[in-house]
Chain A
Amino acid sequence: MTIKEKGTVMDEIQIKRAIARISHEILERNKGAENLVIIGIRARGDVFAKRIKDQIKMIESVDVPIGVLDITLYRDDFTSIDYMPVVGKTEIPFNVSGKIVVLVDDVLYTGRTVRAALDEIIDFGRPKEIQLAVLVDRGHRELPIRPDYIGKNVPTSDNELVDVKIKEVDGEDRVILREVKDGA
């Protein structure tokens, strides 16, 4: 199996603009930041959640509470994987009941991660509403889930990978499309 780079889908400035736009859209749709909380899915969604929080602070001078979700123990594919994923910490230092939760992830694909995240959030309480923000929507949903805020729609085929690089982890901000080929 080989993986070939097909090109950059988003560069640093495009990612920055997408985060800025999503932050404005969140504020516009919810008429401000009151009652809002942001929860990012490990490991990448939490970084974008933090950036959205910072952006909202710049725009409206409001500190929106932020949380991190690790969905490992809610996955539906344990019967079909042959390794044990590391269980990270879930940190939701506020009560979600009655809140508008903006759930943040980097790439939306089958929707199974989001399903796990929704189940987990509801174990913390009963939010008024949950909205979904993603940096990249690459299609191929296997569950009835749709995002409310999208950085960029990237049409892909099944043999492609969307690789999100972020400064905090990888040293650069870039979204790369890669192609997986069978054989040597």
Chain B
Amino acid sequence: MELKRKDLLGIEELSREEIEIILETAESMKEISERAIRKVPYLRGKTVVNLFFEASTRTLASFALAEKRLSADSFNLSSSSSSVLKGETLLDTARNLEAMKIDFVVMRHSMSGAPHFIAERLEASVINAGDGTHEHPTQALLDLLSLKERLGGIEGKKVLIVGDILHSRVARSNIWAFEKMGAEVSLCGPPTLMPYKIENMDVEVTYDLNEAIPDMDVIYVLRIQKERQKGGLLPSLREYIELFGITPERLEIAKKDVVIMHPGPINRGIELDPRVADGDHSIILNQVTNGVAVRMAILYLLSGGKSGEIAEE
């Protein structure tokens, strides 16, 4: 079984089987990061461009390490230091890169759909590293892998996603990902940050965190995106902390072995109390470790074989 795709743009279009192949391949990739020489020769001679039009630490570092551990040649371009500043269009930037012979574009953009637009117009494989408020598929996949490792499986688990659902591409990708793997997803957050008609994604919506918590196997805490809060949708951070912050006191009503996840970067003391972030329930750093393996798996699976003979050995 393999992934018959050129690009990875979102979780929405993936089947459960495809997700399972990615997770299984990622499990095999994990061990490479434990070796004396943390590198395999698979992508030798292939070129990857990390095209980031939005700030990123974890995702960019994670992709860069995944590329290097598979021996690809890669480099990073960001909007602040490229011809985008001179007014070049996105498509022109991409076409110019392809004219220099590249195999993969890993792309983050503040506009939803930007990677899709590029993917249709390039021969290179495009991997969505986050597009606007739409999707962040590699984040959802690393979350699935981390949860699967912690709980042994995802089927039937109850997952609560807490926070700013409206602006969160992580929430959207994760709702699809958890549901495809058979989990039950609930959302909790301020009504102003809950998208209109989100119930259509087959999720429970609640505005009372204390009521929702006791049932949950997993609490997935979203970052309050301060850079996207200019519209006055949050009266105050103090109020948010009071109503939706995950604190040790709140966890007292949770299941004993509840799992705490967060996509990073954490606003310590706002959506997540430091004692919870660093506590036994948290798998936040496992999520980061698994990010490299998941991205290695995706690079491998999208690289595809070329047509020709099948070797016997």
Q: How far is the CB of B109 from chain A (nearest CB, A)?
A: 28
Number of B residues, CB within 8 Å of A: 32
A119 to B71, CA, bound (A): 14
- Chain B residue with Cβ nearest A111: B313
The answer, yes or no, to whether A98 is at the interface (CB within 8 Å) is no
For the complex formed, measure the closest distance between the CB of B7 and the CB atoms of chain A, giving whole angstroms: 15
State A113–B297 Cα separation when bound (angstroms).
22
What 0/1 readout, one digit per residue, does chain A (103-145) give for beta carbons within 8 Å of chain B?
0000101101100000110011100000000000000000000
With A90-B28, A91-B31 as given contacts, are A77 and B311 in contact (CB-CB < 8 Å)?
yes
Which residue of chain A is the closest to B300 with respect to CB atoms? A87
How far apart sit A125 and B32, CA to CA, in the bound complex (Å)? Answer: 13
**Do A84 and B307 form a contact, CB below 8 Å, given A73-B41, A123-B39?**
no
User: A80-B309, A86-B25 are contacts. A73–B40 as well, Cβ < 8 Å?
Assistant: yes
**Is A161 a contact of B41 with CB atoms below 8 Å?**
no
Kindly provide the distance from the CB of A145 to the nearest chain B CB, expressed in whole angstroms: 12
User: A161 → chain B, closest Cβ, in Å?
Assistant: 7
The reply to whether B312 and A80 contact each other, CB–CB distance below 8 Å, is no
Q: Is the interface of A mostly helix, strand, loop or mixed?
A: loop
* Complex Cα–Cα for A113 and B311 (A): 11
Nearest 6 interchain pairs by C-beta: A73-B40, A84-B2, A73-B42, A123-B37, A80-B308, A87-B28
Q: Would you call B304 an interface residue if the criterion is a C-beta within 8 Å of the partner chain's C-beta atoms?
A: yes
**Does A94 sit at the interface, judged by CB under 8 A?**
no
Would you call A82 an interface residue if the criterion is a C-beta within 8 Å of the partner chain's C-beta atoms?
yes
Q: B183 within 8 Å of A by Cβ?
A: no
Please tell me if B100 contacts chain A, counting CB pairs below 8 Å: no
Query: What is the total number of residues of chain A having a CB less than 8 Å from a CB of chain B?
Result: 29
Q: Is the CB of B308 within 8 A of A89?
A: no
* Contact call A84/B28, Cβ cutoff below 8 A: no
Most buried by B among A70, A84, A107, A109: A84
What is the 8 Å Cβ interface bit string for chain A, positions 73-99, against chain B (1 contact, 0 not)?
Answer: 110011111111011111100000100
Whether B35 lies near A81 (C-beta < 8 A) is no
* Contact present for B28 and A81 (CB under 8 Å): no
Chain B interfacial positions (CB closer than 8 Å to A): 1-3, 24-25, 27-29, 31-32, 35-37, 39-42, 70, 297, 300-301, 303-313
A163 to chain B, nearest CB (A): 11
* A74 neighbours in B (Cβ, 8 Å): 40-42
Q: A73-B42, A86-B1, A88-B28 given as contacts; is B313 within 8 A of A113 (CB)?
A: yes
Contact between B35 and A83 (Cβ–Cβ < 8 Å)? no
Interface residues of A in 53-87 (CB under 8 A from B): 70, 73-74, 77-84, 86-87
A80 to B39, CA, bound (A): 23
- By a CB distance below 8 angstroms, the chain A residues around B39 are 123
CB distance from A57 to the nearest CB of B (A): 26
Given contacts A74-B41, A81-B308, 6 further A-B contacts (CB under 8 A): A73-B40, A74-B40, A86-B25, A123-B39, A124-B36, A125-B36
Q: Which chain B residues border A83 with CB–CB below 8 Å?
A: 2, 305, 310
Task: Give every chain B residue within 8 A of A123 (Cβ-Cβ).
Answer: 35-37, 39-40
B36, B301, B310, B313: which has the most chain A beta carbons within 10 Å? Answer: B313
Q: A113 CA to B58 CA in the complex, in Å?
A: 36
Report how far A74 CA is from B39 CA in the complex, Å.
Answer: 11
Task: Give the complex CA separation of A89 and B305 in angstroms.
Answer: 20
Residues B28 and A119 in contact, CB atoms below 8 Å apart = no
Partner of A81, one of B25, B27, B31, B306: B306
Bound: A161/B312 CA distance, A: 8
The answer to whether A73 touches B70 (Cβ under 8 A) is yes
Partner of B307, one of A77, A82, A87, A124: A82
Q: Are B29 and A78 in contact (CB under 8 A)?
A: no
Q: Are A87 and B312 closer than 8 Å at their CB atoms?
A: no
- Assembled-state Cα–Cα distance A67/B61 (Å): 31
Q: A70-B28, A89-B28 are in contact. Are A112 and B308 (CB under 8 A)?
A: no
**Cβ contact within 8 Å between A81 and B313:** no
Cα A89 to Cα B27 in complex, Å, equals 7
Select A79's contact among B2, B29, B306, beta carbons within 8 Å. Answer: B306
Least CB distance, B237 to chain A, in whole angstroms:
45
List residues of chain A with CB within 8 A of the CB of B310. 81-83
- Once the chains are docked, how many angstroms separate the CA of A90 from the CA of B311? 21
Name the B residues within 8 Å of A70 (CB-CB).
28
Check if B306 sits within 8 Å of A84, measured CB to CB. Answer: no
Chain A's closest residue to B306 (CB) is A79
Min Cβ gap B156→A in Å is 26
Q: Which residue of A lies closest to B30 (CB)?
A: A89
